[in-house]
Structure 1
Amino acid sequence: MSMPNSRERVVAILVLLVSLLTQAGTPTASAGQPADALWFDGPAAAVLTVEGGRFTDGLGREVVLRGYNVSGETKLAENDGLPFASAADARTSAAALRSLGGGNTVRFLLSWASAEPVRGQVDRAYLAAATEQIRAFLDAGVRVFPDFHQDLYSRYLFHEGSWYTGDGAPGWAVEAGGYPRESCGVCLFWGQNIQQNTAVTRATYDFWHNAHGVQDAFLATAQTTMAYLAEHLTPAQFAGVAGFDPYNEPYAGTYDSGQNNRSWERDVLWPFYEKFRARMDAAGWRAKPAFVEPGLFWNANLSFQRQEGGFLDAGTLGPRYVFNTHFYDQKAISGIFMWGKAGDGQYTGDFGTVRDRAAATGTAAVVSEFGHPLSGSTSDKAPTVDKAMYQALDSRVPGARWWSDPTGSGPVLSSTQWQWDIYSGRHHELMNGNPDKVRTEGDAWNDEDFSGVRLDDSGRAVLRQDARLLDRLYPSATAGRTVAFTYEDRSRDGSTTLTWNPVPAGLPHVARLVGSGQYGLLLWRSDGGSAPTELHLPASFATAATTVVSDLGTVHGPPPYTRDTPIAVTPEPGGTGSRRLLLTAPGADAPHFALVTNGATAPDPQLLDAARTELTAWAAAHR
């Protein structure tokens, strides 16, 4: 085993120092932080590892990653393969993602074509610009995991008159293969190119078999990129880099004789991930996990598309890998296989499968892409589809059964929604370089339109989806183990408020307290540490209007944090104006509960006490 490099040693020392402060319970600012910074906001809190099948930070707390993909702009040529036209735009996006979208994590897309435009020559100007844009998110208190993105292998497979386009590999990699002129035939959706476009399938097959040395070149560029980031970010910033996604939506292209997706994952895909893992180690990323994706169609919800897989033969992945998958409701997107809207519990089975596969491989899970089109013939389904996906990320139990079976929830899944593109509807992309095909609408890529954000005419970031859906209450850091969590966001489908998890009639005082407001409920077992449990507070939960009913106490309008305040509100790191609820619970392996709602206006103490009595009895029955 090689020795840690200097960058890793510095990060380790910082983590150790903060850990010592934590154990002493001293509310002292960490080195390099403002004097008023809270002691648990140091680099140790940003460090992400995998332990016991869940994400943990350097303070031992269970972590949930929630955020977005930044950004589909990387797929386009107009900004040279960067998510943003400038670092200033990156900062605008990061601040809005934190304050409007409630995110604490981004999957940050990178372009191999832009990083290595000439074979063997990495463009360090591109790496410098990408690093500066990544830094904007890290400084806003947002974790980052980069992704060398690809779709349909490469834009250079497609000619000027093509109906579709791709992204990923550089032009020289395509030229080396001498592929036939691309054609998908009668393809109504761009994704059909994955299996039907001969140029795409052959180029993809060649990559996995390292024809012309293209895979070796990709791995070398990835290592150079990771080493550059480790060298040019400060230790505190680098602590916020969660890991790396080696390859987006892997697919064989074509199988060898007798091969299927399961054997391809085992014999081709997993050896590639092991090579990538070795490159991470060599680049100074030894302590960070690889966010590895199984074969693209292993968890598809169309039976004719689904393929056996999900790393069935990989054994225990352990802390060096994260089970990383995507989920789109292809039935809903097609407009053919699903009539009507999504409903309560629509995706608990699909996301339960993700939980089960991650548990079987002994690691944490992240759903790094999900969402639904916001324009087009099926866009009317988006409010319910996206709500149902978030519901399934929070718990594997439908709302109708949650109160009677909360401990069946499973872990709260980490996720990054597709996507967060501040340029939505304002692009100027020459599709495949064709000046007669200037794309401005939506994502400007294969007629997609997924972004939850845009810039208005004044240049201000505004949401394109219901804020109650996107800016959510969730347990971002739990001091112990989450037992169950649910959140009723009361998001809307047009003028209809969607309530899929009403408080049951058997808890009348809780129901009265919540009223028609939003609410979340967390059950957890404390770890005996001094660091608090943290829940992100949406902007809709104004501090003065937030009510907490917990075994730790009851409070309306939680006060600022002090060492002796068990229930408090404080800003989230990064200075973006977002806030978090802090719950400091005593005792190791002790059960706790906390109901958080914005439904009450000046509730009287008797109502708070009665609600606490009801919840105490309910929680005791569901430990």
Structure 2
Amino acid sequence: MVKMRARLIGLLVLVVACLTTSLTAGGAPSAAAPLAGPLWFDAQAAATFTVDNGRFTDGLGREVVLRGYNVSGETKLAENGGLPFASVADAEKSATALRELGGGNTARFLLSWAHAEPVRGQVDRTYLAAVTEQMKAFLRAGIRVYPDFHQDLHSRYLFNEGSWYTGDGAPKWAVEAGGYPRESCGICLFWGQNITQNEAVKRAAHDFWHNSHGVQDAFLTTAQATMAHLAEHLTTAEFAGVVGFDPYNEPHAGSYDSGRTSRMWERDVLWPFYEKFRARMDAAGWQSKPAFVEPNLFWNANLAFQKQEGGLLDAGRLGPRYVLNTHFYDQKAISGVFMWGKAADGQYAGDFGTVRDRAAGAGTAAIVSEFGHPLTGTVSDKAPTVGKAMYQALDSRLPGAGWWAKPEQSGPVLSGTQWQWDIYNGRHHELMNGNPAKVRTSGDAWNDEDLSAVRLDDSGTPVLRQDARLLDRLYPSATATRALAFTYEDRSRDGSATLTWNPVPTSLPRVSELVGSGQYGLLLWHSDGTSVPTELHLPASFDTPRTTVISDLGTAVGPPAYTRGTPIAVAPEPGGTGSRRLLLTAENPVGLHYALVTNGAAAPSAELLSGARGELAAWAAGRG
């Protein structure tokens, strides 16, 4: 891919459509409002997305972090015909809430092969049109999107009406072509055990990877038609917000051919499939967008008996046309057996460090496209700490206790999309496997899962099901040029207890006083000379008048609305949803920069601000 490095100082850009919003004084304009003023940098370039030198970047050369949610597990159900939403209006409601409540800038957007090709060789254009319109609602809200043809346990059509479990993915005709035995998982406490214990699921997966009955060819043809439809029916600005495609959710061999190992299967079966999918992307007009490729489902499992060698070790350097895309769930915590206590500071530093290292070895960027924990049930008490530890590990590979001492070892800030964002949580009406006697309404309505971070209240308004301090986070969405280290202390709660895993060290007493009991984030970054701003998402909990920024760029209490030349300022996020971002612009851009952002002390004194800035300057000296 060609990287656009725009240095267009003084360029007047009139910003249109959903992906660009005027950085001007005042609140976020509505989508139809006239522009109040110019951007001095190229907003179209800012919306561009690519992979460069192992990081996600935009067209201004800034390092980009994708944060958000999977939208939506409703696609796995039949009640709305495999669509994420019942209507475009619901999609718009969900997208706005994802921005305002969830703090996300990205959605992994689920699609259904079964509904895209219900009859072999016939793509359902009505389904594709509906999917496109719902996707547009997220793009209008300034949310980047990467679609995913989702599957679990291969297909719902493998399961009988009385089954304990169900699946999603392949259409009925593909299952009928295989003539699989009656499914049975035996003694399975979790639906995922079907992957390795249900003979029907195992054989169907094996057949797909070996293109038995031509099913893989059919899938690739439908995927190409879907991508071509999106390229044709999205505007140029909207299509720029589609950052890539996830070819296949949670791939597993089903069963390995005689003499094959999991690593050999990735090399000889999975990777050739991804190369075929990449060719289909190119043919559909997606040449400049990466494929978000997933290794063997179990390559990074944290249970020893599940773990299988993999991680696309034999694919060589993936480069900008592929992204290392993985999932992580703490199976020990979910089991209720292998982890009795709760997650703690640094719990997943090693697991997410493995993701960083594998991406670096592959010469590409990484994203954790699914992570989360059940919010009801016998292990739901672990959710607050598991969630905090996972976000902590996305932000940095260091535990909080050691971050201040060696931030240079923090590693890149990882992108991630939490499972999941389903506004219909608890309000479904799903006939499980088409059985009218098994109507599922609670939770996610799928295999007794309940992981959605959002639901609708009785008035139809989206509300969070998890602590807003955990979900709506400070994070560096665009860093000029490269983030060196980042940490965020969200002060999220576990019941009535505030979780503080990264206290300011006692060696920085004025910084500690400034932060107090508030939330804070600290970014270290290096600029190679670009004059475009570094941007951080500002959570709703960072009310502008109470937000304090201490930086080598200056000090600001209640940062002003953005105007050109203001080093520390606040502006609306793209999309007009009311969410905000902090912009940090260096007058002398080359070299190391730092910024502490906190909502701690109210109306801090000039003496406290000066003391905190002196301590941070001394701490930052010589780092990076």
Task: Quickly name the TM-score band, shorter chain normalised.
Answer: over 0.9
Matches within 5 A, 1:505-544: 505-544=506-545
The one-letter amino acid paired with 2:355 is: V
Secondary structure of residue in 2 paired with 1:568? strand
* Mapped contact 1:526–1:586 kept (Cα < 8 A): no
In structure 2, what is the equivalent of residue 59 of structure 1?
60
For 1:622 and 1:62, how far apart are their aligned partners in 2?
19
The one-letter amino acid paired with 1:110 is: L
In structure 2, what is the equivalent of residue 225 of structure 1?
226
* Mapped contact 1:30–1:39 kept (Cα < 8 A): no
In structure 1, what is the equivalent of residue 382 of structure 2?
381
* Mapped contact 1:93–1:461 kept (Cα < 8 A): yes
For 2:506 and 2:42, how far apart are their aligned partners in 1?
40
The one-letter amino acid paired with 1:366 is: I
Pick one of 11, 16, 19 that aligns with 1:26: 11
The one-letter amino acid paired with 1:35 is: L
* Mapped contact 2:546–2:599 kept (Cα < 8 A): yes
* Mapped contact 1:82–1:110 kept (Cα < 8 A): yes
Secondary structure of residue in 1 paired with 2:423? coil
* Mapped contact 1:480–1:589 kept (Cα < 8 A): no
Q: CA deviation at 1:588?
A: 5.0
* Mapped contact 2:548–2:556 kept (Cα < 8 A): yes
Q: CA deviation at 1:622?
A: 2.2
In structure 2, what is the equivalent of residue 172 of structure 1?
173
Secondary structure of residue in 2 paired with 1:147? strand
In structure 1, what is the equivalent of residue 295 of structure 2?
294
* Mapped contact 1:102–1:471 kept (Cα < 8 A): yes
Matches within 5 A, 1:98-113: 98-113=99-114
For 1:40 and 1:443, how far apart are their aligned partners in 2?
43
In structure 2, what is the equivalent of residue 396 of structure 1?
397
Matches within 5 A, 1:4-43: 22-30=7-15, 34-36=34-36, 38-40=39-41, 42-43=43-44
In structure 2, what is the equivalent of residue 151 of structure 1?
152
* Mapped contact 1:322–1:365 kept (Cα < 8 A): yes
The one-letter amino acid paired with 2:35 is: A
In structure 1, what is the equivalent of residue 558 of structure 2?
557
* Mapped contact 1:479–1:533 kept (Cα < 8 A): yes
Deviation by residue 1:133-173 (Cα, 9 ceiling, x = unmatched): 10000000000000000000000000100000000000000
Deviation by residue 1:229-260 (Cα, 9 ceiling, x = unmatched): 00000000000000000000000000001111
* Mapped contact 2:474–2:521 kept (Cα < 8 A): yes
Deviation by residue 1:477-513 (Cα, 9 ceiling, x = unmatched): 0011111000000000000000000000000000000
For 2:86 and 2:279, how far apart are their aligned partners in 1?
33
Q: CA deviation at 1:23?
A: 1.4
The one-letter amino acid paired with 1:304 is: F
When the two chains are superposed, the root-mean-square deviation of aligned CA atoms in Å is 1.3
The one-letter amino acid paired with 2:369 is: S
In structure 2, what is the equivalent of residue 3 of structure 1?
none
What percentage of aligned pairs have identical amino acids?
78
Q: CA deviation at 1:413?
A: 0.2
Confirm or deny that 1:210 pairs with 2:211. yes
Secondary structure of residue in 2 paired with 1:24? coil
* Mapped contact 1:101–1:467 kept (Cα < 8 A): yes
Q: What TM-score comes out, normalization by structure 2 length?
A: 0.96
The one-letter amino acid paired with 1:28 is: V
Deviation by residue 1:60-93 (Cα, 9 ceiling, x = unmatched): 1100000000000000000000000000000000
1:119–1:188 Cα change, 3 Å:
same
For 2:226 and 2:183, how far apart are their aligned partners in 1?
30
For 2:180 and 2:369, how far apart are their aligned partners in 1?
31
For 2:46 and 2:78, how far apart are their aligned partners in 1?
37
For 2:171 and 2:44, how far apart are their aligned partners in 1?
36
The one-letter amino acid paired with 2:146 is: F
For 1:40 and 1:81, how far apart are their aligned partners in 2?
40
For 1:31 and 1:601, how far apart are their aligned partners in 2?
37
In structure 1, what is the equivalent of residue 279 of structure 2?
278
In structure 2, what is the equivalent of residue 4 of structure 1?
none
Secondary structure of residue in 1 paired with 2:148? strand
| Higher relative contact order structure (alpha carbons within 8 Å, sequence separation ≥ 6) | 2
For 1:468 and 1:525, how far apart are their aligned partners in 2?
28
Secondary structure of residue in 1 paired with 2:146? strand
For 1:48 and 1:130, how far apart are their aligned partners in 2?
22
Residue ranges of structure 2 left out of the alignment (5+ in a row): 21-33
1:236–1:434 Cα change, 3 Å:
same
Q: What TM-score comes out, normalization by structure 1 length?
A: 0.96
For 1:443 and 1:550, how far apart are their aligned partners in 2?
44
* Mapped contact 2:11–2:41 kept (Cα < 8 A): no
Q: CA deviation at 1:48?
A: 1.1
* Mapped contact 1:46–1:143 kept (Cα < 8 A): no
1:400–1:281 Cα change, 3 Å:
same
For 2:457 and 2:41, how far apart are their aligned partners in 1?
37
Secondary structure of residue in 1 paired with 2:295? coil
The number of aligned residues is: 608
The one-letter amino acid paired with 1:324 is: N
Secondary structure of residue in 1 paired with 2:8? helix
Q: CA deviation at 1:31?
A: 5.9
For 1:145 and 1:179, how far apart are their aligned partners in 2?
32
Matches within 5 A, 1:389-468: 389-468=390-469
The one-letter amino acid paired with 2:517 is: S
For 1:74 and 1:404, how far apart are their aligned partners in 2?
45
* Mapped contact 1:431–1:439 kept (Cα < 8 A): yes
Secondary structure of residue in 2 paired with 1:23? coil
The one-letter amino acid paired with 1:260 is: T
* Mapped contact 2:10–2:41 kept (Cα < 8 A): no
Q: CA deviation at 1:41?
A: 6.9
In structure 2, what is the equivalent of residue 5 of structure 1?
none
The one-letter amino acid paired with 1:481 is: R
Q: CA deviation at 1:564?
A: 1.1
* Mapped contact 1:527–1:587 kept (Cα < 8 A): no
For 1:398 and 1:129, how far apart are their aligned partners in 2?
44
The one-letter amino acid paired with 1:294 is: P
* Mapped contact 1:23–1:530 kept (Cα < 8 A): no
In structure 1, what is the equivalent of residue 131 of structure 2?
130
For 2:146 and 2:255, how far apart are their aligned partners in 1?
29
